[in-house]
Amino acid sequence: MRVLWITAVVVGLDQLAKAAVLHFMVRQQSIPILGDWLKFTFTENPGMAFGIQLGTRGLVTFLALAATLLVIYYMYQVRNGYTPYRASLSLILGGAIGNIIDRVFYGVLLGYDGLFFGKVVDFIHVSLWRGFVPEFVPGLGGAYMELFPIWNVADMAIVLGVVGVLYFQNTFHRQLYEEQLAQMEDDPPVPESAEARTADGDGSTSPLTSLSPSERSTLQGPSSEDA
């Protein structure tokens, strides 16, 4: 599939960026890029997206691998489909593989844990909002909060891919329907011949229909007129 070059580019850029962070930064170091709005902050995420924890790191790695295999299988099923839709899936696949490399190998490569127990390297720090939560919000009213997701190139590719899938899915399904309709028009169903039906119309074939008139007369015996 030609769109897989997108997957390869995403994986390459993601791993190069993480290698640079590991080489030039130390954990928890933060480098301002655009003031407080955008920074490079070196963190390691043992859980899922946004630091969500779901069981052990081994379970998270297993779930990530299973989801990636499902994406690969689905991409094979739609390998001849709408190109922008498949390109969006390639972005998702590239991001998934990029983070799986961290989870599978980084624990061993960086010397802090075993195989399949690595942490995902995040560094793109975006401060979306900071301030006091309005008083009418239950449980959080009046509290000071800051929304600052820290992610990486792989995460960005996944988000862009999901947006692309949602945007292009209608065109993809419409094109698929039109192709199926065209195939039905090119190969219409063969109508059943009248000779293949019995007299009572039950759809079964009578053995008498394959005989000549003289043979049928012999098998059926003399008619009332001959008697």
Catalytic residue (one of 14, 102, 113, 122): 122
Determine which helix (DSSP H) or strand (DSSP E) holds 193, and give its type and residue range: none
Q: Over 50: is that where the pLDDT of 227 sits?
A: no
% of the chain surpassing 70 pLDDT: 78
Q: Over 90: is that where the pLDDT of 131 sits?
A: no
Beta sheet of 120-126, edge-to-edge order = 30-34, 38-45, 120-126, 150-151
Report the pLDDT value the prediction gives residue 32, as an integer from 0 to 100: 95
pLDDT, tens digit, 9 for 90 and up, residues 52-84: 666 666 788 999 999 999 999 999 999 999 999
CA 17, distance to chain mean position in Å, is 24
Determine which helix (DSSP H) or strand (DSSP E) holds 217, and give its type and residue range: helix 213-220
pLDDT, tens digit, 9 for 90 and up, residues 7-33: 999 999 999 999 999 999 999 999 999
Domain boundaries, the chain: 4-186
- Give the whole-angstrom CA distance, residue 169 versus residue 163: 10
pLDDT, tens digit, 9 for 90 and up, residues 135-181: 888 877 888 777 788 999 999 999 999 999 999 999 999 998 988 88
Report the pLDDT value the prediction gives residue 134, as an integer from 0 to 100: 86
Report the pLDDT value the prediction gives residue 110, as an integer from 0 to 100: 94
Report the pLDDT value the prediction gives residue 153, as an integer from 0 to 100: 97
Sign of CA dihedral 139, 142, 144, 150: positive
Sign of CA dihedral 168, 171, 177, 178: negative
Annotated catalytic residue 122:
yes
| Helix (H/G/I), strand (E/B), else coil: 113 | coil
Entry field: residues in the chain: 227
Catalytic residue (one of 36, 102, 113, 155): 155
Q: pLDDT band at residue 49, thresholds of 50, 70 and 90?
A: low
Report the pLDDT value the prediction gives residue 31, as an integer from 0 to 100: 95
Report the pLDDT value the prediction gives residue 199, as an integer from 0 to 100: 47
Q: pLDDT band at residue 212, thresholds of 50, 70 and 90?
A: low
pLDDT, tens digit, 9 for 90 and up, residues 92-129: 999 999 999 999 999 999 999 999 999 999 999 998 88
- Give the whole-angstrom CA distance, residue 10 versus residue 172: 23
Q: pLDDT band at residue 185, thresholds of 50, 70 and 90?
A: confident
- Give the whole-angstrom CA distance, residue 73 versus residue 79: 10
